[in-house]
């Protein structure tokens, strides 16, 4: 908590944050006179998400979301670097830029209302529109209220991805570009570091190495476009694409493969797109909205890559469990690495 | 010889307690963590009952496949290295069967309810019938 005001030690971090948000509202939001109902929604290792209402003279309130990395945690976030598609996150100010680019090509995203400046003393981050909807993947694939909407979701996802991929990488110069070969090498090094042999992973790396997609013009890639990071409403379908922190520049087919990886089907294995749709609908939406013609084998490469990446991440939890965070949850996630082994075997050696 | 009950019986009782009375009498955040704990205890319990026979079979398959002596970590490292440099591929007799058997044995311990594992069980049962 060294980042927060040391003189105000009688105030809680939440009170300090509410005060600073209130001052920011006066300075930066026209006709606003303060904030109310400031409440923390999630607590990540580096990031925080807060909900609050912007209050106005005359009584109307606007619900908003603050996403921030407190100043004291910036160094920790930066030291975890590796780069975009390599698996590490972009900073929140860069994420705000990417969100604005996405909004500019009509991707449904929460509108960015304000990017924090040092004067605000709130760390790095931004304030965005509060969007109502469902994000829990299990509910999307099972709840009766989504039954009528579900069949159109895969096509919608394809259309949205085509728009994301239409953004010129030149518009986002801070994003890192990684080729398929570099990404495979990155995750192979992470697997080697786990120091635990998993012959199925070696088989998958050999399979990927033999099928590296040819060099191509790179595009913006969302990096984590999957059921669980999308917000849905019955009837409308996708109302917001969230969690852009793995955005990078690379092969657009990476996004089409990742949404098909089995853990994101939430148990509905026979609906390959997010547990709610069919591949052909995803591809049709993609091509209809201006995306390039989809090469099925090329998407398959990224689906295998996605499963393997997820598996290496889970396996990496063992080191985190032993060295930094001996929580039961970490231990159990580490034991999910074998899930990806069965997914890989079903794809590579059926 | 150690006394009874056996460790797997003790762990089963711990898991049942965590999932039952402990979850019922706790708030939402702790009850989620208690379910995670119950899941972890059950993994350890299945490790004790299913682990040793599965690892004995895995070791026997690795000896046959690699024609080398060694313990499980050594032989798995050797197999990983041979797959990596292409000396062993899916065309190598016995590899596919070995990887499937090893993977299914891991899942039976780690995540027996995982959708991909359930699907693989059904597909492999159908394949044997056909």
Please check the confidence at residue A76 and state whether its pLDDT lies above 60. Answer: no
Q: Are A61 and A36 in contact (CB under 8 A)?
A: yes
- How many beta carbons lie within 10 A of that of residue A163, not counting itself? 19
B107·A335 Cβ contact <8 A:
no
Cα–Cα distance, B47 to B112 (Å, whole number) = 12
Distance CA A147, CA B3 (A): 55
The two three-digit tokens of residue A80, written as one number: 């975890």
Contact assignment for B103 to A200 by CB distance below 8 Å: yes
Contacts of B121 in chain A (CB under 8 A): none
In angstroms, what separates the C-alpha of B32 from chain A's closest C-alpha?
10
pLDDT tens per residue across span B40-58: 999 999 999 999 999 999 9
In the block, residue with structure tokens 């052909």: A280
pLDDT of residue A43: 60
Alpha-carbon distance A242 to A129, whole Å? 12
Q: Is a pLDDT exceeding 90 seen at residue A28? A: no
Is the pLDDT assigned to residue A243 strictly greater than 80? yes
The mean pLDDT value for B74-98 works out to 97
B113 → chain A, closest CA residue: A267
The three-class DSSP label of residue B115 is: helix
On whether residue B33 sits in a domain, the answer given is yes
pLDDT bracket for residue A44 (50, 70, 90): low
Q: Closest residue of B to A265, CA-based?
A: B115
Residue A79 has pLDDT above 50, yes or no: no
Residue B2 lies in a domain: no
ipTM exceeds 0.90, yes or no: yes
**Least trusted range by pLDDT, from A65-74, A98-107, B4-13:** A65-74
pLDDT higher than 70, residue A325: yes
Q: Is-contact A116 A123, C-beta < 8 A?
A: yes
Report yes or no: A71 and A124 within 8 Å, Cβ to Cβ.
yes
Closest CA of chain B from A280, distance in Å: 21
Q: Chain B within 8 Å of A328 (Cβ-Cβ)?
A: yes
Cis status, amide bond into B5, omega within 30 of 0? yes
Could you report the per-residue pLDDT of B109-124, keeping only the tens digit for each? 999 999 999 999 999 9
Q: In this predicted structure, what is the pLDDT of residue B127?
A: 86
The answer for residues whose C-beta is within 8 angstroms of residue A203's C-beta and 6 or more apart is A344, A348, A349, B83, B90, B99
Average the pLDDT over each of A142-151, A225-234, A323-332 and give the range with the smallest value. Answer: A323-332
Q: Which of A30-39, A251-260, A330-339, B4-13 has the least mean pLDDT?
A: A30-39
Which residue in chain B is spatially nearest to A334 when comparing CA positions?
B110
Tell me whether residue B70 is in a domain.
Answer: yes
In a domain, B34, yes or no: yes
A197 and B103 within 8 Å at the Cβ level: the answer is: no
Decide if B1 is inside a domain.
no
How far is it, in rounded angstroms, from Cα A21 to Cα A259? Answer: 36
User: Which among A206, A329, A339 has CB closest to B83?
Assistant: A206
Gap between the Cα atoms of A3 and A73, Å rounded = 8
User: Residues 6 or more apart from A303 whose CB is under 8 A from it?
Assistant: A257, A258, A260, A261, A347
Residue A86 has pLDDT above 70, yes or no: no
A339 and B114: CB-CB below 8 Å?
yes
Residues of chain B with C-beta less than 8 angstroms from the C-beta of A336: 110-111
Please tell me the predicted confidence (pLDDT) of residue A1: 43
Minimal-distance CA residue of chain A relative to B123? A350
Long-range CB contacts (< 8 A, 24+ apart) of B8-14?
Answer: B8/B45, B8/B48, B8/B49, B11/B41, B11/B42, B11/B44, B11/B45, B11/B48, B12/B42, B12/B45, B14/B41
Stretch B84-95: mean pLDDT? 96
Q: Has residue B124 been placed in a domain?
A: yes
**The pair of three-digit structure tokens given for residue A259, joined into one six-digit string:** 């949404």
Q: Which residues contact A33 (CB under 8 A, 6 or more apart)?
A: A25, A26, A55, A56, A57
Query: Which residue from A29, A16, A34, A28 is spatially nearest to A71, judged by alpha carbons?
Result: A16
Q: Span A51-76, mean pLDDT?
A: 83
Closest partner CB to B40 (pick from A331, A343, A348): A331
Give the nearest partner residue to A349 out of B39, B96, B117, using CB atoms: B96
Most confident of A4-13, A14-23, A287-296: A287-296
The reply to whether A205 touches chain B by the CB within 8 Å rule is: yes
Mean pLDDT of all residues in chain B? 95
- Of A58, A252, A269, nearest to A165 (Cα)? A252
List the single residue in B with minimal CA-CA distance to A191: B80
Burial group, residue A246, by CB count within 10 angstroms (0-12, 13-18, 19+) = buried
When CB atoms are compared, the residue of B76, B84, B123 closest to A206 is B84
Candidates A206, A267, A341; nearest CB to B86: A206
- Mean predicted confidence (pLDDT) in A152-167: 98
Whether chain B has a CB inside 8 Å of the CB on A198: the answer is yes
Predicted pLDDT at A14? 84
| Lowest-confidence region among A21-35, A96-110, B16-30 | A21-35
- What Cα–Cα distance (Å) separates residue B32 from each residue in A199, A246, A266, A317, B35? 33, 28, 18, 19, 5
Question: What pLDDT, on a 0 to 100 scale, did the predictor assign at position A96?
Answer: 95
pLDDT tier, A10 (very low <50, low <70, confident <90, very high otherwise): confident
| pLDDT tens-digit series, residues A117-141 | 999 999 999 999 999 999 999 999 9
pLDDT digits (tens, 9 = 90+) for A247-281: 999 999 999 999 999 999 999 999 999 999 999 99
The token pair that represents A280 in the structure block: 């052909």
Compute the nearest-CA separation of B4 from chain A (Å): 27
In a domain, B21, yes or no: yes
Which residues of B sit within 8 Å Cβ distance of A?
33, 36-37, 39-40, 43, 73, 76-77, 79-81, 83-84, 86, 89-90, 96, 99-100, 102-104, 106-107, 110-111, 114-120, 123
Domain that holds residue B34: 7-129
Task: Say which of B39, B83, B110 has its CB closest to residue A199.
Answer: B83
Q: Does A58 contact chain B (CB < 8 Å)?
A: no
Q: Give me the number of domains chain B comprises.
A: 1
Tokens of A57: 């003279």
Checking phi first, is residue B108 left (phi over 0); if not, alpha (psi -120 to 50) or beta?
alpha
Position A87 confidence tier, pLDDT thresholds 50, 70, 90: low
Please give the pLDDT value at position A190.
95
C-alpha torsion sign, points A124, A310, A131, A281:
positive
Query: What was the pLDDT predicted at B119?
Result: 96
Residue B19 lies in a domain: yes
């Amino acid at each position: 908590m060294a980042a927060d005001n040391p003189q105000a030690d009688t105030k809680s971090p939440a009170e300090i944050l509410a005060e600073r948000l209130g001052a920011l509202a006066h300075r930066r939001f026209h006709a606003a006179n303060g904030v109310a109902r400031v409440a923390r929604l999630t607590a990540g290792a580096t990031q925080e998400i807060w909900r609050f209402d912007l209050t106005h003279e005359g009584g109307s309130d606007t619900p908003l979301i603050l996403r921030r990395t407190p100043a004291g945690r910036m160094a920790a976030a930066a030291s975890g670097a590796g780069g975009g598609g390599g698996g590490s996150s972009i900073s929140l100010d860069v994420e705000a830029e990417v969100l604005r680019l996405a909004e500019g090509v009509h991707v449904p995203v929460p509108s960015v209302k304000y990017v924090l400046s040092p004067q605000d003393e709130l760390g790095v981050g931004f304030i965005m529109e509060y969007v109502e909807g469902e994000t829990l993947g299990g509910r999307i694939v099972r709840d009766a209220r989504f039954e009528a909407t579900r069949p159109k979701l895969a096509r919608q996802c394809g259309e949205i991805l085509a728009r994301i991929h239409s953004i010129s990488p030149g518009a986002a110069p801070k994003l890192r570009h990684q080729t398929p070969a570099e990404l495979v090498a990155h995750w192979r090094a992470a697997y080697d570091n786990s120091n635990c042999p998993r012959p199925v992973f070696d088989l998958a790396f050999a399979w990927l190495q033999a099928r590296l997609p040819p060099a191509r013009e790179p595009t913006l890639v969302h990096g984590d476009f999957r059921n669980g990071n999308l917000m849905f409403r019955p009837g409308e379908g996708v109302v917001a694409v969230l969690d852009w922190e793995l955005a990078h520049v690379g092969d657009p087919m990476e996004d089409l493969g990742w949404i098909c990886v089995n853990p994101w089907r939430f148990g509905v294995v026979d609906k390959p797109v997010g547990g709610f749709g069919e591949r052909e609908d995803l591809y049709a939406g993609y091509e209809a909205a201006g995306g390039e013609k989809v090469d099925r084998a090329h998407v398959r490469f990224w689906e295998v890559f996605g499963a393997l990446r997820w598996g290496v991440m889970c396996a990496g939890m063992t080191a985190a469990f032993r060295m930094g965070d001996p929580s039961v949850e970490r231990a159990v996630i580490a034991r999910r690495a074998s899930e990806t082994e069965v997914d890989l075997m079903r794809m590579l050696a059926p | 010889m150690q006394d009874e009950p056996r460790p797997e019986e003790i762990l089963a009782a711990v898991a049942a307690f965590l999932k039952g009375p402990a979850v019922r009498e706790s708030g939402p955040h702790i009850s989620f963590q208690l379910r995670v704990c119950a899941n972890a205890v059950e993994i350890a319990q299945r490790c004790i009952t299913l682990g040793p026979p599965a690892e004995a079979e895995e070791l026997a398959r690795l000896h046959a496949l690699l024609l080398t002596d060694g313990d499980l970590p050594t032989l798995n490292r050797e197999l990983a290295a041979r797959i990596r440099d292409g000396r062993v591929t899916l065309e190598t007799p016995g590899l596919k069967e070995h990887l499937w058997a090893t993977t299914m044995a891991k899942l039976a311990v780690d995540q027996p309810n995982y959708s991909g594992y359930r699907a693989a069980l059904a597909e492999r049962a159908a394949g044997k019938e056909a």
